[in-house]
């Protein structure tokens, strides 16, 4: 049965049939109006029907299933004496489990319905103790839920409602067998809701196998008024693979994002991009599946609290992230699957803000862009990569804004005396130009000083403890990256690598300091166990080699030469 969302004038939660306590709870949290998926799904679930819901990231799915679940359990009387689970929400990742559990706990406040999250990377013993105390609602990843089932520490015999959130993601991550095993352990009398951003045939197969005559709800993309800019603008730059890291730095310098997520295909690319951005002064943090959970938690806390500007992540690691303040999403590659692209760019443009999605595409990836445009029915603007002149223009715009701000603040009487004295010997326009030049150079110097290069012994872990460089977020950054569209680059071989503790910051600092060159003369950096490869401006290569031969990096002399490969 197809049930389209109802467009009615009454859009408050008090019109959906929820208990007054639940309406008060969501109102206290600041929600005034239900989203389309909430208006469509909540009445269906309250009526006891199974549901298949299609809606994208950021549409309010959590409340759409959590509120009916809490309503059902709260109105069906006290929990069984066994204290076993009555509601189960399965999600693809630990991050999403934590996020959903927190939201459900807030909605259920005052209902005497304990909420317990179960996910990998956390103490099994602690989770077992929580389950033994009694858990009305469980939010779990499939792997950890199945682990508890096999240990017989999780009982699902009293389950009244099951939710599969982001079911397409769970299948993509290989949880199909786990889901079947978990569902087989639940009563056939349960109510089931399945939510996914895409409705592929295998999702419908799961619904046909495990749901009873489900009602289906589809929430399309929001229609915008004519002439209104989309919330996510989409841009692409064509860049050769070997120049992508330099191009990434150039784009970040030009855009000066408040908060950005950079998506990479592999863990290796995540680490390389993070090291390169850190060496060029960004507070960048890596997030991928190869990290320990405590590291992932620390990184997410830094990014959520805006102590880190850039999160560099793989798709799997970033699943379930819901952070409103992300202004830019940058694809270091163009995903071959348009659906993956849509998921990525959905991380920006949240909460009514405008976002920007940027893709660094190789020429051979042009067809991927065409496929994405066909799916989204939105144009991706192909732009030339910003040049050094473009960056300088942005810095001048910032200086213009700063001078205007000073003029509007007033309090310039003492400064006028200086101008009047100088006006006896110079033209007033020239005096003003000199003052603007001072402001511009001061802004530039400030940005350069904030381009923090790690000192010997400092690692990304020490920076992750909160020692964030306080750099300007405006477009006036003086930091410049290697020009990826310029072929006048050479690669230097440096005879020291990871085994000697060399990091990107050590190499950039040594080159900039000892050879007395700007950091823009340094491009991509690759560090192996035994040696490092550093791209540098070809015109400055001999000067850099000579300087490094007479200095020490991390307290040791190193061999430096042009790379023979």
Residue 435 lies in a domain: yes
Looking at residue 343, its pLDDT comes to: 79
| Closest to 346 measured CA to CA, from 374, 371, 318, 379 | 318
Q: Are 183 and 57 part of one and the same domain?
A: yes
Q: Please tell me whether the overall predicted TM-score, pTM, comes out greater than 0.85 for this model.
A: no
Say which residues have a Cβ less than 8 Å from residue 131's Cβ, sequence separation at least 6. 116, 138, 148, 153, 154
Looking at residue 64, its pLDDT comes to: 93
Q: Are 376 and 427 part of one and the same domain?
A: no
C-alpha 372/C-alpha 342 separation (Å) is 8
Looking at residue 495, its pLDDT comes to: 86
Largest interatomic CA distance in the chain:
93
Q: Are 379 and 393 part of one and the same domain?
A: no
Residue 6 lies in a domain: no
Looking at residue 172, its pLDDT comes to: 81
CATH number at residue 25: 3.40.50.300
Say which residues have a Cβ less than 8 Å from residue 511's Cβ, sequence separation at least 6. 517, 521, 522, 534, 536, 544, 547, 548
Q: Are 445 and 512 part of one and the same domain?
A: no
Residue 470 lies in a domain: no
C-alpha 464/C-alpha 449 separation (Å) is 20
Residue 380 lies in a domain: yes
Q: Distances in Å between the alpha carbon of 245 and those of 263, 331, 474?
A: 12, 11, 21
Q: Are 180 and 300 part of one and the same domain?
A: no
Residue 224 lies in a domain: no
C-alpha 492/C-alpha 535 separation (Å) is 6
- Domain end residue (candidates: 189, 218, 247): 218
Residues in the chain: 565
**3-class SS of residue 333:** coil
- Domain end residue (candidates: 464, 499, 527): 464
Per-residue pLDDT of the chain (565 residues; tens, 9 = 90+): 444 444 434 557 888 999 998 988 887 776 767 888 899 999 999 999 999 998 865 567 889 999 999 999 998 865 555 568 999 999 988 878 888 998 899 899 878 899 999 998 888 999 999 999 888 999 999 999 999 999 999 999 999 999 999 898 888 888 889 999 999 999 999 999 999 888 888 888 999 999 999 999 988 654 443 333 346 889 999 988 888 888 898 888 888 888 899 998 877 888 889 888 887 778 889 988 777 778 888 888 888 888 888 999 887 677 666 677 788 999 998 876 777 788 788 878 765 567 889 999 988 788 788 888 887 788 899 998 888 788 778 778 777 877 787 787 788 888 888 888 888 888 888 888 887 777 776 655 444 433 333 333 333 333 333 333 333 333 333 333 344 444 467 888 888 888 787 888 788 888 887 887 777 778 878 888 788 888 888 888 888 988 888 778 877 788 888 887 6
Residue 255 lies in a domain: yes
Are 39 and 182 spatial neighbours (Cβ–Cβ below 8 Å)? no
Residue for token digits 């992932």?
296
Q: Are 344 and 414 part of one and the same domain?
A: no
Looking at residue 211, its pLDDT comes to: 93
Q: Are 174 and 202 part of one and the same domain?
A: yes
The DSSP line for 383-418 is: -PPPPHHHHHHHHHHHHHHHHHHHHHH---HHHHHH
Are 196 and 54 spatial neighbours (Cβ–Cβ below 8 Å)? yes
Tally of structural domains, the chain: 4
Q: Are 394 and 285 part of one and the same domain?
A: no
For residue 356, the cross-strand partners are: 233, 328
Residue 419 lies in a domain: yes
pLDDT in tens, 47-63: 999 999 988 655 678 89
Q: What DSSP character marks residue 123?
A: -
Q: Other CB atoms closer than 10 Å to residue 420's CB: what's the count?
A: 11
Range of the domain at 350: 232-386
Looking at residue 353, its pLDDT comes to: 66
- Domain end residue (candidates: 322, 353, 386): 386
C-alpha 128/C-alpha 96 separation (Å) is 20
Q: For residue 76, report the phi and psi dihedrals to the nearest 5 degrees.
A: -90, 10
C-alpha 144/C-alpha 323 separation (Å) is 25
CATH number at residue 506: 3.30.70.330
Q: Are 376 and 394 part of one and the same domain?
A: no
C-alpha 334/C-alpha 244 separation (Å) is 12
Residue 482 lies in a domain: no
C-alpha 130/C-alpha 117 separation (Å) is 9
**3-class SS of residue 388:** helix
End-to-end CA distance of the chain: 63
Q: What DSSP character marks residue 54?
A: E
For residue 115, the cross-strand partners are: 137
Q: Are 86 and 136 part of one and the same domain?
A: yes
């Amino acid at each position: 049965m197809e049930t389209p969302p109802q467009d009615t004038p009454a859009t408050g939660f008090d019109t959906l049939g929820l208990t007054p306590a639940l309406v008060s709870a969501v109102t206290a949290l600041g929600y005034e109006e239900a989203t389309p998926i909430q208006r469509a799904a909540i009445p269906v679930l309250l009526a006891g029907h199974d549901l298949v819901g299609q809606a994208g990231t950021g549409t309010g799915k959590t409340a759409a299933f959590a509120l009916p679940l809490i309503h059902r359990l709260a109105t069906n009387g006290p929990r069984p004496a066994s204290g076993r689970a009555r509601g189960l929400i399965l999600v693809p990742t630990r991050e999403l489990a934590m996020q959903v559990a927190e939201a459900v706990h807030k909605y259920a406040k005052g209902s005497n319905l304990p909420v317990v999250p179960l996910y990998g990377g956390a103490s099994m013993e602690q989770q077992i103790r929580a389950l033994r105390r009694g858990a009305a609602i469980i939010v779990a990843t499939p792997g950890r839920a199945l682990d508890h089932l096999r240990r017989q520490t999780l009982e699902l015999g009293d389950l009244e409602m099951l939710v599969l959130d982001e079911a397409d993601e769970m299948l993509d991550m290989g949880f199909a067998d786990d889901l079947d095993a978990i569902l087989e352990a639940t009563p056939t009398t349960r109510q089931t809701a399945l939510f996914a951003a895409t409705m592929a045939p295998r999702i419908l197969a799961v619904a046909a196998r495990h749901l009873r005559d489900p009602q289906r709800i589809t929430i399309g993309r929001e229609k915008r008024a004519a002439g209104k800019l989309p919330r996510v603008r989409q841009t692409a730059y064509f860049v050769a693979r070997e120049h992508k890291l330099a191009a990434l730095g150039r784009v970040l310098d030009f855009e000066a994002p408040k908060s950005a997520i950079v998506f990479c295909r592999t863990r290796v690319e995540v680490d390389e991009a993070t090291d390169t951005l850190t060496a060029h002064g960004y507070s960048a943090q890596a997030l991928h599946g190869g990290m320990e959970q405590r590291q992932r938690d620390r990184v997410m806390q830094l990014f959520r609290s805006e102590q880190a500007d850039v999160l560099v992540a793989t798709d799997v690691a970033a699943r379930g992230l819901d952070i409103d303040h992300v202004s830019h999403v940058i694809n270091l590659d163009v995903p071959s699957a348009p659906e993956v692209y849509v998921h990525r760019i959905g991380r920006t443009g949240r909460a009514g803000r405008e976002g920007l999605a940027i893709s660094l595409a190789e020429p051979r990836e042009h067809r991927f862009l065409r496929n994405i445009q066909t799916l989204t029915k939105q144009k991706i603007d192909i732009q030339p990569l910003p040049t050094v002149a473009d960056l300088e223009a942005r810095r001048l715009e910032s200086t213009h804004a700063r001078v205007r701000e000073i003029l509007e603040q007033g309090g310039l009487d003492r400064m006028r005396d200086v101008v009047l004295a100088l006006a006896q010997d110079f033209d007033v326009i020239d005096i003003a130009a000199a003052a603007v030049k001072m402001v511009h150079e001061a802004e530039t110097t400030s940005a350069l000083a904030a381009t923090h290069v790690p000192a010997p012994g400092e690692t990304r872990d020490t920076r992750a403890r909160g020692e964030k460089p306080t750099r300007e977020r405006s477009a006036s950054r003086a930091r410049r990256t290697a020009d990826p569209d310029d072929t006048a680059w050479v690669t230097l071989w440096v005879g020291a690598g990871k085994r000697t503790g060399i990091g990107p910051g050590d190499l950039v600092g040594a080159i900039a300091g000892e050879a007395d060159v700007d950091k823009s003369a340094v491009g991509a950096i690759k560090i192996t166990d035994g040696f490092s490869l550093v791209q540098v401006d070809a015109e400055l290569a001999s000067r850099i080699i000579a300087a490094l031969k007479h200095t020490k990096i991390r307290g040791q002399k190193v061999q430096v030469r042009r790379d023979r490969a």
